[in-house]
Chains A and B, each alone.
Chain A
Amino acid sequence: MAPVLTHSNRSRHLAAGLALLLALMVLMALASLAVGARAIPLGEVINALFDPGTTGTNATILRDLRIPRTLLALLVGAAIGLSGAIMQGVTRNPLADPGLLGINAGAALFVVLGISIVGLTTLTAYVWLGFAGAAIATVLVYAVASLGREGATPIKLALAGAAITAAFGSITTGVLMTDATTLDAFRFWQVGSLAGRGTDILVSVTPFLAAGIVLALVTGRLLDAMALGDDIARGLGQRVLLSRCVAALAWIVLAGGATAAAGPIAFVGLTVPHAARAITGPSYRWILPYSAVMAPILLLGADILGRVLAPPGELQVGIVTAALGAPLFILLVRRRRLAEL
């Protein structure tokens, strides 16, 4: 009797799982179009989708608010999930999360400086400011971590991240303490929200996020090799420095773009890769696509819940993801042995 090829069986199972998750994601997206703070009948939803000529408040809301918001949730979700997985792979630290490595602090600082010094308070301005800040913070983190012989080892990256977060955080707080208007605008941005993000935001970030997602999915092989340790990776013929750079680029674009668009949504990037790994096992070739699909599902779910839990207002997605995600995460921590990478 021919031996069972476990590997390809497993691959087939995982592929099937991924397809299922994709279907679930599409369902969630449709739900996101149909459900919101304003009750719009399903018939009108379908009408507005297929007939671009429909007018009226409901049509405006669907076209200009819900569709961009849903698309943004998909992109931002995928971006967060992927960047979290990459970060955990590169730093070999299961606690890596964009928040821990300076990106949120960088975005926040630039947003605060933009509001305070230049007086910019539109969402589009936040996007560019946030992106610039996140990019600069990451570059600084990498630069600082690379000082010295060994280059950017995981521990040094984490320490550098903490250092930059501290530095930027202290300037940010200093500004907030002395400028009430900035505080007033900032306290809403820093919750993490997809509300009010329309077509112009979507258009600004899509090129970056799309490029980032493609780049990220390609790094699966690189991350698998890096997980074995730098020496083995080199032995397998991989250029460690180049790999790190490629991964870092993907990570800056994704995490920076996501934070720029929606504000800091800190928890998803940490939890989703762990959940993905619990299903797929340690190979990044599977963890990455699974993260890319599971994260939007979580984000959309949280966003939809947020829209209906506090009528006539909404609960921001950043709050719901933490409220949902943290207990799930703790359950995960207790139930399974979360392996070191």
Chain B
Amino acid sequence: MNTMPQPHEFIDIGADVAGIREALARRRLVVIGGLALLLAALFTAAMVMGDYPVTLPEILTSLLSPFTGTTQKGIDFIVLGVRLPRALVAVAAGVAFGLSGVLFQDVLRNPLASPDIIGITIGSATAAVAAIIVLHWGGGWLASAALVGGLATAGLIYLLAWQQGVSPYRVVLVGIGIGAVMTAMMSYIFTRARLVEVQEAVTWLTGSLNGSQMKDAVQLGAEVIVLGLLLIPLSRAAGALELGDDTARALGSRVERARFLLLGVGVTLCALATAVTGPIAFVSLMAGPIARLLLGPSGGAIVPAALTGAAVTLCADLIAQHLFFSVQLPVGVVTGGIGALFLIAMLITANRTGRTS
């Protein structure tokens, strides 16, 4: 009659589960800690490496100068005006791209989903190309154009894909369609523009951190922090989304609204970062899968993906600046190459577990 498990059996099962949960939490902490350390090392390298001869003590003096008041004219410009903003923008943009990628991949449940592939980045890019070549905008105006272009395209894709709700499948398809129109528009503009203007546009399109200023870093950093904080309440809904629509609905989260808000945050992050640096290729695509690989089954990829995005961007920028002796390349060229190697590595290792993401 008494077929229910005895209390001590409950405790045993509980202990196993608790043990596993503990191990997973530990792994997650290790991964996050490791990534943070890596980021710190890369940041230090970014501050120390460069063509202008600066010694480590001089760098430290510069960094502390807002507090101590000691100024060193040329060195302060290099440390505080060139290297620090560039590294900060790299981190902020990397976090923004990484987060937007992982959000897209979670909501659309497709490891290939990212703002790049869905067509939103193209929207920013087309707006920017039109602004550069047709309107001759630069600086703040150009950034605004890119931002508006990205957000408007996202809105358009959402509207067109909406039919009693939004299926991820339709979003991707519509995104590809819109992307094709935008690419055609850009190609048309490129064939009608003067070569000089095309060069300007191609530079922007490749994604570059050259000439980053402190005000860009501060602005983007603030935006990323605010949107990141927004994710905390939303990420609870995100966890439920991975289980599938039906389960999520049964668990009580309002699926449609959660999806919309998460995608919205992802789109905004991507658009804001793109407005500052141009579209840096593949960071949004790579960050999530790399984070997941490191985490294994411990889940909760959002923070690690953010850190990964920052690390990848910073590392790529260092390579782009210093790998070739005579010429300095924009960061987007390198992230494209790294993205490829990474994807190939994914393909080689993924098969062990039979999963591809």
Q: A–B direct touch, CB within 8 Å, in complex?
A: yes
- A residues apposed to B, CB below 8 Å: 94-95, 97, 144-145, 147-150, 155-156, 158-160, 162-171, 173-174, 176-178, 180, 183-184, 187-188, 190-192, 266-267, 270, 315-316, 318-319, 321-323, 325-327, 329-330, 333-334, 338
Give chain B residues whose Cβ lies under 8 Å from the Cβ of A333: 160-161, 170, 173-174, 177
A330 touches B177 (CB 8 A): yes
**8 tightest Cβ-Cβ pairs between the two chains A and B:** A170-B336, A167-B340, A148-B351, A322-B184, A163-B343, A166-B340, A326-B181, A166-B339
What are 23 of the A-B contact pairs (CB < 8 Å)? A95-B173, A147-B348, A150-B351, A156-B347, A163-B341, A163-B342, A166-B337, A166-B343, A167-B339, A170-B281, A170-B339, A171-B337, A173-B202, A174-B333, A177-B206, A180-B199, A183-B198, A187-B190, A316-B188, A322-B184, A326-B184, A327-B177, A333-B161
A322 and B183 contact, Cβ closer than 8 Å, known pairs A155-B356, A180-B199: yes
Where the two chains meet, the residues of B that have a C-beta atom closer than 8 Å to any C-beta of A are 111-112, 117, 160-161, 163, 170, 172-174, 176-178, 180-181, 183-185, 187-188, 190-191, 195, 198-199, 202-203, 206, 281-282, 285, 327, 329-330, 332-337, 339-344, 346-348, 350-351, 356
- Output the least CB separation between B312 and chain A (Å): 13
B180 touches A266 (CB 8 A): yes
Nearest A-chain residue to B181, judged by Cβ: A326
Give the one of B176, B327, B330 with max A CB within 10 A.
Answer: B176
Asked if A322 meets B343 with Cβ closer than 8 Å, knowing A148-B351, A149-B351, A334-B163, the reply is: no
Specify which chain A residues have a CB less than 8 angstroms from the CB of B333 in the assembled complex. Answer: 170, 173-174, 177
Docked Cα-Cα span, A166 to B280, in Å, equals 12
Residues of chain A within 8 A (CB-CB) of B335 are: 170
One of A148, A168, A270 near B347 (C-beta < 8 A):
A148
Please give, as numbers and ranges, the residues of chain A lying within 8 Å of B342 by CB-CB distance. Answer: 163
Give Cα A321–Cα B329 distance, bound, in whole angstroms. 34
Q: Which residue on chain B has the smallest CB distance to residue A164? A: B340
Alpha-carbon distance A173/B161, docked complex (angstroms): 32
Residue of chain A at shortest CB distance from B162: A334
Instruction: Say how far A330's CB is from chain B's closest CB, in angstroms.
Output: 5
Given A159-B112, A160-B344, A167-B336, are A318 and B187 neighbors across the interface (CB < 8 Å)? yes
In contact, B351 and A144 (Cβ under 8 angstroms):
no
Given A159-B343, A162-B285, A187-B191, check contact A323 B329 (CB 8 Å).
no
- Give bound CA distance, A233 to B186, whole Å: 43
Bound CA span A301–B188, Å: 18
Residues on the A chain within 8 Å of B282, using CB: 166
Q: Is the CB of B347 within 8 A of A159?
A: yes
Which chain B residues lie closer than 8 Å to A325 at the CB level? 180
CB atoms of B177 and A329 under 8 A apart: yes
Q: Per a CB cutoff under 8 Å, which of B180, B198, B339, B347 touches A187?
A: B198
Output the least CB separation between B38 and chain A (Å): 22
- Taken together as a complex, chains A and B put the C-alpha atoms of A177 and B350 apart, in Å, by 35
Chain A residues closer than 8 Å to B195, beta-carbon distance = 180, 183-184
**CB-based contact B332/A191 at 8 Å:** no
Cross-chain contact of B184 among A147, A149, A319 (Cβ < 8 A): A319
Is the CB–CB distance between A266 and B190 below 8 Å?
no
Residue of A nearest to B346 (CB): A159
A170 touches B187 (CB 8 A): no
When C-beta atoms are compared, the residue in chain B nearest to A321 turns out to be B184
Query: Pick the contact of A167 from B183, B285, B327, B337 — CB < 8 Å?
Result: B337
B184→A178 contact, CB < 8 A: no
- Neighbouring B residues of A168 by C-beta, 8 Å: 340
> What chain A residues lie within 8 Å of B178 (beta carbons)?
326, 330
Identify which of A150, A166, A192, A315 contacts B281 (C-beta below 8 A).
A166
Q: Using Cβ atoms and an 8 Å threshold, which residues of chain B touch A188?
A: 191
Q: Identify A318's interface contact among B112, B184, B334, B336, CB under 8 A.
A: B184
Q: Is the CB of B344 within 8 A of A177?
A: no
B111 to chain A, nearest CB (A): 8
Contact check, A170 vs B337: say whether CB atoms are below 8 A apart. Answer: yes
| Contact across chains for B163 and A267 when beta carbons are under 8 A apart | no
